[in-house]
Copies of this chain bind each other. A is one copy, B any other.
Amino acid sequence: MATHRLLVISNHAAEFSELLTTAQLPELSFTCVLTPEAACPHCEDAEILFGAPELIAPLLEHCPELKWVQSSWAGTTPLIDHPRRGYALSGVKGIFGQVMAEYTLAWLLNFERRVSRHTEASHWDDAADGSLLGKSIGIMGTGSIGEAVAGFLKPFGMSVHGLNSDGHPVSHFDRCFPFSDRLAFAEGLDYLLVLLPDTPTTNRAVDAALLAQLQPGAILINAGRGNSVDNAALLRALANGQLGHAVLDVLEAEPLPDDDPLWQVKNLHITSHTAAPSLSASIVGIFCDNYRRFHAGEALHHLIDFAKGY
């Protein structure tokens, strides 16, 4: 049986290499590199690419033997946008639910329980803090991450509303709305969590009209993609109190430059795309599972539909 050729391109190349060596996958030889430039000499006979979408995209046209790309990130836009097709593209799903729930709870509880204020306190202050109990949250995007987050939030006695393409019901959500009803979905929400992929449909889905529907003083968290939020409308809502706080993990241009005025907005918190860290062991675990399927001629897990973009 012929050996399969894998090329890994990732900032975590060394770590991935060690994990792949330990995994002892059958009939596989691999090379791990940090950059597209270093990858070039190995493209000619690579059947499988594994790594960061933005590092893999420039290599697609140099890989005539390419059969499968395993992304190491949930977002795969650079690959979806590239004209080269004719290979299987698999993403990473199922490992981000808990870290995203932790991120969401960290920020909601930070505001409700006034963690920053207590941290800075220098005298006794026993004014009552808030609670998640009885609050309402809307989650835009009810895929595997959104569903997992809803499952972590539900025990706190919140009403959890979801927004997806056609309003189909999803576990842990009290109610799901179709994208066309996004304003009804947003009405009166205490918290809004955006977990949308980057597609033409999601562009500026969080606009002035949607923000105006929220409970005054609401909290917005965007941990999906930067294109979802209309930043001008966001800044107006933060300034006039319609939003109490916004937490942005993602922006249209990353990294956000040091001199960007967003850093200075008092009730806007920027978390530098750390909401769902790609835990190397989990990601290599997904690759190994999929490789065994590839090797056995079985269907891969977490396949992405180029037409839908997710």
Interface residues of A (CB under 8 A from B): 98-99, 102-103, 105-107, 109-110, 112-113, 115-116, 118-119, 121-129, 131-133, 151-152, 155-157, 254-256, 258, 263-264, 269-274, 277, 279
Contact = CB atoms under 8 A, between A and B. Distances in A.
Given A129-B277, A271-B118, A113 B102 contact: yes
Contacts of A131: 98-99, 102, 277, 279
A109 B110 CA distance: 9
A200 B215 CA distance: 48
A202 B269 CA distance: 41
Contact of A128 (B109, B110, B277): B277
Contacts of A99: 131, 133
B116 A116 contact: yes
Given A277-B128, A277-B129, A102 B110 contact: no
B102 A132 contact: yes
A279 B124 CA distance: 20
13 contacts: A98-B131, A98-B132, A98-B157, A102-B109, A102-B156, A106-B110, A106-B112, A106-B113, A110-B110, A110-B119, A121-B271, A126-B272, A129-B277
A159 to B, nearest CB: 15
A123 B274 contact: no
Contacts of A272: 118, 121, 124-126
B110 A269 contact: no
A151 B155 CA distance: 10
Contacts of A123: 258, 263
Contact of A255 (B115, B126, B255): B126
Given A105-B105, A126-B273, 16 more contacts: A98-B156, A102-B131, A102-B156, A106-B109, A110-B119, A115-B115, A115-B116, A118-B269, A119-B269, A121-B271, A122-B263, A124-B255, A126-B272, A126-B274, A152-B156, A155-B155
